[in-house]
Structure 1
Amino acid sequence: MSEHDLLDLEGQVAFVTGAGQGAGRAIAHILAQHNAGGIAVNDFVIERAETVAEEIRQLGIPAAAVQADVGDYQSVATAMDDARAQLGPITLLVNNAGNAGPNSQMGLSPLFWETEPDDWAPFFHTNLFGVMNCCHRAMQDMVDAGRGRIVTIISDSGRVGEARLAAYGAAKAGAAGLMRSLAKEGGRYGITANCISLSTLEPQMDEQQLEAFYANDRIKSQLSRYTLRRFGQASDVANMVLFLCSGAASWITGQTYPVNGGYTVTQ
């Protein structure tokens, strides 16, 4: 990259969870485009990870496809060890994997008092314990290097609350609290830890399916709540991740940035 690129990642190795599709794929691509030294593409489905890793290699950047369920500590440990062996120490960590786990279809739950404790577990498994597992395994590399960036994708359901998403919101809020704590623990070692809070992203559909999606009255009503009158794109997320991973954000830590098209403007 140009020496004038404020977003140059200076050859650092990134580990991106849930990077086999959607926003995670876009994040992996944009980090590669700004001089990352390598991208570890994590996904629960190894075929998705391998596809994205090959796309990164085509950009001239080393990449490793690493399978892991982030909520399983030993699975994360194995994946990160594999990534280190192929690419080197990890100093950029993007906790993007979310929803209710690798095989979930995200949707509105019953009211909280109508749920059972077993219903809550998948949300905490991925959105809180998954983030804890990845941070725990990556931070020693950052401490040793004297620098590091942790970016965790949360949700407005965790930042301001959302009906019928209580367990999901609680897990995301917990991840945000973890980032604030790690920001204080890691600051003296040059490590920053921040969150990006999302609302709805446009679903991955072909043109005909999207046309039908936006014709739905419920979707029209939901869209009217966004100041910018559109749902998010994967690139919207990736751009903010790049900024927070770069030297341009070197004095920013312990913060949560809403990237939500004006869905909420609450502090």
Structure 2
Amino acid sequence: MRRVAIVTGAASGIGLGVAQWFARAGHKVAMMDRNGEAVRSASEELNAEGHLTVAFEVDIADRENLGVAIEKTRAAFGPIEVLIANAGISEYKPFLEMEVAEWQRMLDINLTGMFHSIQLALPDMVAAGWGRVVTISSMSAQVGAPNMAHYAASKGGVTSLTKALAREFAEKGITVNTIPPAIVHTGLSRRTEEVDGTNPRIEAMVQAVPVKRIGMPEDIASACEWLCSDGASYVTGQEINVNGGMYC
């Protein structure tokens, strides 16, 4: 069955891969991202292929702006049935050098932005008695990450939020799961390796991956599609580790 889906952080990386996967599978996809030019371009390319997408320039930390985009999605496509809550930021900063503003910004976008996205989309799912939410967390929340305490903490919060909502909305026909990726080939992963000389290069990190390859956005997208299917109706509150065996 074709659904109405929202994908946040859809201009690049995992979010773009998920949006492309869902649109090409026949779903109606609202693509949301802070980079308005990039997300509009990605949407136009998919529409030129004959798919149904709309694009919105959205900062998920801005609840009012996000709410307007979700209302426009309803007007264009109908009630929201699927949410892939992917938008987030990442950066390296030694803990003792971390400013309060840097800590707060990470939480505002990665965790509170996730709260806004889910809370604004859920009413449609509750009314329908069916819905799927997939959050994108991080393996950093599972094993820790030096110089990324704020990022790991924010993603740990995403995992806890996911589990809490899974239990709260299970009887309403809504599943809520999270995917904590490890190394995925994205523009963000390439940028972070160049921040300073202490960050490992992706090619070196791949040697720690049991399957000996870097993850691709399509790996995450295919898992999202399954979690959002009727076949996954008995799966909720779970961490689906799509990571090449790095964390089991």
What TM-score does the superposition give when structure 2 sets the normalisation length? Answer: 0.90
Unpaired runs of 5+ in structure 1?
Answer: 1-9, 101-105, 206-215
In 2: Cα distance, 1:260 partner to 1:16 partner:
21
Deviations 1:54-106, CA, capped at 9 Å, x for gaps: 23323433211111101111111111011111111111000111124xxxxx3
* Residue from 33, 47, 64 that aligns with 2:37: 47
1:126-141 matched pairs, under 5 angstroms: 126-141=109-124
Give the aligned partner of residue 215 of structure 2: 232
In 2: Cα distance, 1:90 partner to 1:162 partner:
35
Deviation of 1:24 (Å)? 1.1
Query: What amino acid is aligned across from residue 25 of structure 2 in structure 1?
Result: H
Give the aligned partner of residue 198 of structure 1: 181
The alignment yields a C-alpha RMSD, in angstroms, of: 1.8
In 2: Cα distance, 1:171 partner to 1:143 partner:
26
In 1: Cα distance, 2:119 partner to 2:218 partner:
28
Deviations 1:20-59, CA, capped at 9 Å, x for gaps: 12221111111122231x1101111222121222233234
Q: Tell me, yes or no, if the aligned pair for 1:32 and 1:59 is still in contact at 8 Å.
A: no
Deviation of 1:123 (Å)? 1.3
What TM-score does the superposition give when structure 1 sets the normalisation length? Answer: 0.84
Give the aligned partner of residue 119 of structure 1: 102
- Look up the SS of the partner of 1:230 in the other structure: coil
Query: What amino acid is aligned across from residue 40 of structure 2 in structure 1?
Result: E
In 2: Cα distance, 1:253 partner to 1:62 partner:
28
Unpaired runs of 5+ in structure 2?
Answer: 189-198
Identity %: 36
Within the alignment, does 1:167 sit opposite 2:150 as a pair? yes
In 2: Cα distance, 1:199 partner to 1:234 partner:
11
Query: What amino acid is aligned across from residue 51 of structure 1 in structure 2?
Result: S
Give the aligned partner of residue 27 of structure 1: 18
Query: What amino acid is aligned across from residue 157 of structure 2 in structure 1?
Result: G
In 2: Cα distance, 1:203 partner to 1:143 partner:
34
* Residue from 75, 91, 94 that aligns with 2:81: 91
In 1: Cα distance, 2:233 partner to 2:49 partner:
26
Give the aligned partner of residue 185 of structure 1: 168
